[in-house]
Amino acid sequence: MAYSITLGLIIGTKEWRQEVQSCLEGSGARTVLDQPAVGEWPAFLERLERTRPDVLLIDFANLQAPYDELIAQIKNSAAAPQVVALHKSAEPETILSVIRAGADEYLYPPIGANLGKALERLAARLSTRMNGNPNGGKLLGFFSAKGGCGSTTIACHTAVELARQTNVDVLLADLDLDAGLVGFLMKCKSRYSILDAMANTHRLDLSYWRALVSNGTPRLQVIRAPGASAQREEPKTDDIRTVLRFVRFQYEWTLVDLGRGLNPLVLSALDEVDQAFLVTTLDVPALHQVQQIIRSLIDSGYGQDRLRLLLNRVPKAPDVMPGELEGLLGIPVFSMLPEDHGSVYEAYAEGQLLPANCNLGRHLTKLAAAIAGIQEPANRKKFSLFR
Ligand SMILES: Nc1ncnc2c1ncn2[C@@H]1O[C@H](COP(=O)(O)OP(=O)(O)OP(=O)(O)O)[C@@H](O)[C@H]1O
Ligand SMILES: [Mg+2]
């Protein structure tokens, strides 16, 4: 059983820690917080809110009853994790008092043996909560097999189209920190970037966030990447997760341009997204890269069902057919977008996005409809951003 959940471990008892760790190996659960004791309470809460584990395993061996206040503070934090109490006592009275105090699960020795089942229950509960929560939107990542395959073009147009077709709030975020062009294409006015959000996760709330984003079209907000010349430290992967988890609850759809290839930043963002769109052209070097990327993701346990292959710049008479590619790469082709150099060139030369009625524009409309699960895309006149 694989659990795509994040965990916080507060375990001081050595044997329990070992048992938990060996139970988690290969389970797909990720540990985002790991310390032997709660320690200083405010610092702990701050850390909890920053790392936001879905589930917190707490060793109750050294904690004093009553537990109500402690569990309430943990559950009322922004992280609001599910709490699993590890306790040496198997007495019904103790179990009851801990559960009554607000713990979601109670484990007693042998901890390792009992943990698997508890995690299964928690993962199922969390997945219902995520899918059933009207405030939890969908995160979509776009990344190119190699430079220039088209992830930025596709992410920008799909974001505009999703906002237009669904009429709900959409965010377009540029996580291509080296060469992000979303801000330029979308004519972003804000001088802040996603890096500011990542550097300030401790004060990430709606009012801070609003100061960072720009308005694109109605219902679409944009947060750009820092300029190519900006001096910056390598962001922490935990901060990327925190920002993505935050935005999930502010927008119905968040589209993230991840740049090209796999690196630690892309990998941690891919962990957070619901669907990962891998964009490739049909030339041999790009297909070679795609093959490597897919293999490496699947080998590392990435759910194949989250990967969506997008073929871009497909010529009228392609050398290789989608069926052949699916055989070669082992995953289905989600969508094919045509080569349309003329339209792209003309639109960009005028500082506009693509018109709706060009070949590529029509395909992008359909792509957004397919992503949103809309059967017949609504008609529209113009697909112009820069008015
Ligand atoms: N379907 C298409 N038909 C014609 N030109 C396209 C198409 N898709 C993208 N392009 C062009 O290809 C170039 C690269 O596109 P884009 O910047 O979107 O790719 P990318 O994968 O984001 O590149 P980078 O690696 O630089 O981030 C751009 O000039 C874009 O206009
Ligand atoms: Mg790009």
> How close is the Cα of 98 to the center of ligand 1, in Å?
56
Average pLDDT of the residues in 140-159: 96
pLDDT, greater one: 183 or 383: 183
Number of CB atoms found within 10 A of residue 255's CB: 31
- What is 148-212 written as a DSSP string? TSSHHHHHHHHHHHHHHHH-S-EEEEE--TTT--HHHHTT---S-BHHHHHHTGGG--HHHHHHH
pLDDT digits (tens, 9 = 90+) for 191-212: 899 999 999 998 888 888 888 9
The yes-or-no answer to whether 6-132 and 138-372 have a common fold is yes
pLDDT digits (tens, 9 = 90+) for 315-370: 998 888 888 999 989 999 999 999 999 999 999 888 889 998 999 999 999 999 99
Number of the ligand 1 atom closest to the C-alpha atom of 312:
1
- Return the structure tokens found at 29: 């659960």
Is 315 touching ligand 1 by the criterion CB < 6 Å?
no
CB 38 within 8 A of CB 44: yes
CATH superfamily ID and name for 6-132: Response regulator (3.40.50.2300)
Q: What is the pLDDT of residue 278?
A: 98
Q: What is the pLDDT of residue 96?
A: 84
Number of the ligand 1 atom closest to the C-alpha atom of 348:
31
Tell me the domain boundaries of the chain: 6-132, 138-372
Q: How far apart are CA 369 and CA 361, in angstroms?
A: 12
Q: How far apart are CA 303 and CA 307, in angstroms?
A: 7
Average pLDDT of the residues in 98-119: 89
**Closest Cα to atom 13 of ligand 1:** 148
Is it the case that residue 227 has pLDDT exceeding 70? yes
Q: What is the pLDDT of residue 4?
A: 74
Count the helices and strands in the chain (H runs, E runs): 15, 13
Probe residue for ligand 1, chosen from 151, 153, 158, 344 as the CB with the greatest number of ligand atoms within 8 Å = 153
CATH superfamily ID and name for 138-372: P-loop containing nucleotide triphosphate hydrolases (3.40.50.300)
Is 176 touching ligand 1 by the criterion CB < 6 Å?
yes
